[in-house]
Structure 1
Amino acid sequence: MPPLQLDNGFDLRPAGPADAATVAGWMTQPHIRQWWHQDWSAVRWAAVIEEQVAGGHSIPCMTSLDGEELGYVELYRVRHDRLAEYYASQEHDWGVHIAIGDSTRVGRGIGRRLLGSLAEALLRADPRCDRVVAEPDAANTPSVRAFAAAGFVCQGELRLPEKTALLMIRPRTVEA
């Protein structure tokens, strides 16, 4: 994947094992733990991040706003993910997971801005990709609202083993 240039003051960099303690701390935050269910130790997160980096399926990233780290992002090709079994995926669909770890920045529209910036960057960087997808838990109202505000359109419910999700798709062209 080519480097992504984010807009609106956001930066994105690959995560590495050295970021595991930060990610582990964020995952214990109630607003993340409730939805991610990955409040693991830093040692386990280091292993997970190393596995992701080595495998090429999912790209773990750290994101910052105006130079201050605020969250964890996973970018992935849907065709290599089990999500592809649950909807009519396209070969070049990108998927995204985000967790705003800095609790002082939750509820301020940052998630919406970050999601919009990520989607635009992925679509610019990969001309073969026509859409970016996500599958937030249907009960996670703040997340669903952020995706919708960032131009993701709800395509219905997906019954995944661990949750009922909403399939949210951000097409290359957003209707005004």
Structure 2
Amino acid sequence: MLAVDAPYYRRRVENRIDWRRVTPADFPLLAEWLAQPHVHRWWHHEFTPEAVERDFGAAARGDEPGEDWLVSVDGEPVALFQRCRVADYADEFDQLSAAVPTPLDTMTIDYLIGDPHRTGKGLGTRLIRWAVARTWTDYPDATVIIIPIVAANRASWRALEKAGARRIATVEMEPENPIDDREHHVYQFDRPVDR
């Protein structure tokens, strides 16, 4: 007979995920993450203290509608998620709606995992699923979440696919990093229908 604690009988324990709004006290950590090569390649932000304040300060103070969230797993900060209603940013809305149908209640997310040792292990997919579920709860009027991803960022769009997003288009959009070409894959999560 197998012992009760044999691996076959062990129940998989999911780690606790929490998120809270980014505050100025988090800016040194964000700067550290933005400087990581695996992040900087796709986010292409400056990471000096002044640049981090410029790019994240307004959201941290609540002076703009976008949300920056520090995500922790078992109390350890591991990721940054950004979330907003696309229509709250006219330029982004115009660019996205020119490419794909974009209802006014459309949400979008962006994300990064700061620690390179935490990447490639399914954490991104799990955090995306979690953030999408939270978005449906936090924004009950939102019907879709649409995320454009530069086509060259395969790891990011594969994480979206594994999290349940479907690709709705491949379009030309302005890349964040000037070294990338304009091709983007556009992914969508639809609000689940209650049965």
TM-score, normalised by the number of residues in structure 2:
0.80
CA distance in 2, matches of 1:40, 1:102: 15
* Gap regions ≥5 residues in structure 1: 1-6
Does the CA-based 8 Å contact 1:8-1:117 persist in structure 2?
Answer: no
1:58-116 CA-to-partner distances (Å, cap 9, x unmatched) read 11111111111001111111112333222321121111000100111100000000000
Is the partner of 1:136 in helix, strand or coil? strand
The answer to whether the 8 Å contact 2:46/2:52 transfers is no
Deviates more, 1:165-174 or 1:144-153: 165-174
Query: How many angstroms apart in 2 are the aligned matches of 1:64 and 1:119?
Result: 16
Letter in 2 for 1:125: D
Match of 1:61 in 2: 69
1:34 positional shift? 0.8
For the 8 Å contact 1:16–1:46, the answer to whether it is kept is: no
Find the residue that maps to 1:145 and give its secondary structure: helix
Q: What residue in structure 1 maps to residue 114 of structure 2?
A: 101
Q: Which runs of 4+ in 1 moved over 2 A?
A: 52-57
Identity of aligned residues (%): 24
1:166 maps to: 185
Alpha carbons of 1:8 and 1:164: their partners in 2 closer, same or farther (altered >3 Å)? farther
1-structure distance, mates of 2:92, 2:171: 9
Query: Following the alignment from structure 1 to structure 2, what is the Cα–Cα distance between the partners of residues 25 and 46?
Result: 13
Distance, in Å, in 2 between the alignment partners of 1:124 and 1:52 is: 21
In 2, Cα distance between the equivalents of 1:57 and 1:11? 21
SS at match of 1:39: coil
Gaps of 5+ in 2: 1-13, 176-181
Task: Find the residue that maps to 1:55 and give its secondary structure.
Answer: coil
Could you tell me how far apart the structure 2 residues matched to 1:93 and 1:64 are?
26
Using the TM superposition, name which of 95-104 and 40-49 deviates more.
40-49
* SS in structure 2 at match of 1:56: coil
May I ask how many residue pairs the two structures share in their alignment? Answer: 168
User: What is the CA distance between 1:141 and its match in structure 2?
Assistant: 0.8
The partner residue of 2:92 within 83, 87, 95 is: 83
Measure how far apart 1:123 and its partner are: 0.6
Report if aligned partners of 1:20, 1:43 keep a CA contact under 8 Å in 2. Answer: no
Q: CA deviation at 1:120?
A: 0.8
The alignment's TM-score, normalised by the length of structure 1, stands at: 0.88
Question: Alignment partner for residue 134 of structure 2, among 104, 116, 121?
Answer: 121
Does 1:45 pair with 2:52?
yes
C-alpha contact 1:23 1:45 (8 A) present in aligned 2:
yes
Q: Which amino acid aligns with 1:170?
A: F
RMSD value, Cα: 1.7
Seen in structure 2, the aligned counterparts of structure 1 residues 104 and 141 have a Cα distance that, compared at 3 Å, is: same
